[in-house]
Amino acid sequence: MTKTKRMNLRISAVALISGILLLGALVLPAGFANAGSALASQESRALDDWNGTWLNVGTTLDDPAMDAVYEAMVGAANAAAGADGAFTADDARGFLYAMHKSNFGNLRVAGNTVTYYNVDGTIKCKCKCEGAGAETVAFDGEEFDWYKFELTSGDAACSEYRYLILCEKHSHEGGMLHFHMRYGDTSFDDLINNPAYAMWYPTLGAEGTTVEDVADGYAEGAPMMGYMMLAGLVDPWENFDPGHLGTEIINISGEYICTNEAFYVDAEGGIIPEIPPYQEEGGVWIFEQHGSLLKIILVENGEEMGFCIGSTAGDNIMLFWGGYVETPGMGMMRFETIWTGKIYGSGEEIVMNAIMRGYDSDNDLVTCWAGTQVLRQVED
């Protein structure tokens, strides 16, 4: 495939994906094609708003009624890929498997209890939950709410569903009534904001939903989903020239251990008693580099905590992170952090100075933070 053809294919795929998000052709409310970025905390909803028995759409994907959907997805993907098109129905089925991945069959909500069934119809576990508020999130200028529920008691297997988030029940143009969910044992923040979950949305259809209803719901958007399947396999860095700038770039790809010292002050400059100045080490920073451009995954105790982005040239480096964090006693706060620093040797050590500002939900400055971080490369 020529460079021009690849570029045109990428542009076409991106345009079509944008159309999917705008038209809701994926049987999703606006914004559900991304994990989203949190905007604000909202009031809880009662779990019994979702009362009833719900069909797990993911359990229907092997039914022959879905074959026409997969054929339409494959046809669209292969037509766009031209001579390089070699998608099969198994590829399309796997694409939807990933979207609807779950570890239970159907689901029933009764009051404050969620019953998860095995695929064979037997009960896996019964779990009691309580409301924990809601998060308004945004994607591509659209907003929607994730309603949060936390496990209070239940069977041993309920630990897998300690955190549960649900969207509103809805339908599209008279189609099947359904809602989307996510679940896990990490945190609400992880379920809502982890970019790895951008296309993960187990979907539950109202009692009486048939596989034909599911197939009809996907039929209209199937060609668009084929383009999306194709775009998901296109490497965004494929035509990126790492030597384009024509200046020295030190390769710092890989894993680093962070040694850190920092302190917080309030809006008047006073040390916050609850958070004294601190010194620590042990956090892991994983750098992905393309030319001068950087994306860094931050890991704490084996768990991904977030990411930042930046760039480098010569021995200079600058990074940025901004986002929303739910803070005890403060609600949803907005933080912005900038790092500047130097790379030593061929990347064995990176020393950075950092500043951060935190704002409350009224956009008033609440806290400032400053620190120095020394990153030392982990040997292969």
| CATH code of the domain in which 49 resides | 2.40.128.20
Q: Tell me whether residue 246 is in a domain.
A: no
Select, from the ranges 70-74, 139-143, 148-152, the one with the highest average predicted confidence (pLDDT). Answer: 148-152
- Indicate the residue among 201, 232, 263 that finishes a domain: 232
Mean pLDDT of the chain: 84
Q: Tell me whether residue 245 is in a domain.
A: no
Q: Tell me whether residue 80 is in a domain.
A: yes
Give the mean model confidence (pLDDT) for residues 226-241.
Answer: 78
- Residues 211 and 277 reside in one and the same domain: no
Residues sharing a CB contact under 8 Å with residue 356, sequence separation 6 or more, in sequence order: 335, 336, 337, 338, 368, 369, 370
Residues sharing a CB contact under 8 Å with residue 204, sequence separation 6 or more, in sequence order: 54, 55, 56, 57, 106, 107, 178, 179, 180, 181
- Residues 127 and 90 reside in one and the same domain: yes
Whether the predicted pLDDT of 291 surpasses 60: yes
- Residues 28 and 159 reside in one and the same domain: yes
How far is it, in rounded angstroms, from Cα 206 to Cα 325? 34
**Lowest-confidence pick of 12-16, 299-303, 331-335, 372-376:** 12-16
Residue whose entry in the numeric block shows the structure tokens 């993911």: 58
- Residues 224 and 263 reside in one and the same domain: no
Q: Tell me whether residue 261 is in a domain.
A: yes
Q: Residue 274's pLDDT is what?
A: 84
Q: Tell me whether residue 39 is in a domain.
A: yes
- Indicate the residue among 164, 199, 232 that finishes a domain: 232
Whether the predicted pLDDT of 24 surpasses 80: no
Q: Residue 255's pLDDT is what?
A: 95
Question: How crowded is residue 140: how many other Cβ atoms within 10 Å of its Cβ?
Answer: 12
How far is it, in rounded angstroms, from Cα 82 to Cα 105? 38
Structural domain containing residue 135: 3-232
Label residue 84 by pLDDT band (50, 70, 90): low
- Residues 184 and 118 reside in one and the same domain: yes
How far is it, in rounded angstroms, from Cα 162 to Cα 244? 48
Q: Tell me whether residue 206 is in a domain.
A: yes
Label residue 370 by pLDDT band (50, 70, 90): very high
- Residues 116 and 162 reside in one and the same domain: yes
- Residues 223 and 311 reside in one and the same domain: no
Residue whose entry in the numeric block shows the structure tokens 């049987």: 27
Which CATH number do you get for residue 362? 2.40.128.30
Q: Tell me whether residue 210 is in a domain.
A: yes
pLDDT tens per residue across span 157-174: 999 999 999 999 988 777
Label residue 28 by pLDDT band (50, 70, 90): very low
**Lowest-confidence pick of 108-117, 258-267, 293-302:** 293-302
Question: How crowded is residue 101: how many other Cβ atoms within 10 Å of its Cβ?
Answer: 11
How far is it, in rounded angstroms, from Cα 144 to Cα 367? 29
Whether the predicted pLDDT of 20 surpasses 70: no
How far is it, in rounded angstroms, from Cα 178 to Cα 168? 8
Whether the predicted pLDDT of 326 surpasses 80: no
- Residues 129 and 171 reside in one and the same domain: yes
Label residue 101 by pLDDT band (50, 70, 90): very high
Give the mean model confidence (pLDDT) for residues 89-118.
Answer: 94
Q: Residue 266's pLDDT is what?
A: 93
Q: pLDDT over 90 for what percent of the chain? A: 59
Q: Tell me whether residue 242 is in a domain.
A: no
In the chain, the number of structural domains is 2
**Lowest-confidence pick of 7-11, 79-83, 358-362, 374-378:** 7-11
**Lowest-confidence pick of 223-227, 265-269, 339-343:** 223-227
Q: Which residue has the higher pLDDT, 20 or 233?
A: 233
Q: Residue 32's pLDDT is what?
A: 34
Q: Residue 141's pLDDT is what?
A: 59
- Residues 221 and 83 reside in one and the same domain: yes
- Residues 218 and 273 reside in one and the same domain: no
Whether the predicted pLDDT of 16 surpasses 50: no
Question: How crowded is residue 337: how many other Cβ atoms within 10 Å of its Cβ?
Answer: 17
- Indicate the residue among 197, 232, 267 that finishes a domain: 232
- Residues 91 and 192 reside in one and the same domain: yes
- Residues 115 and 181 reside in one and the same domain: yes
Whether the predicted pLDDT of 262 surpasses 80: yes
Label residue 1 by pLDDT band (50, 70, 90): very low
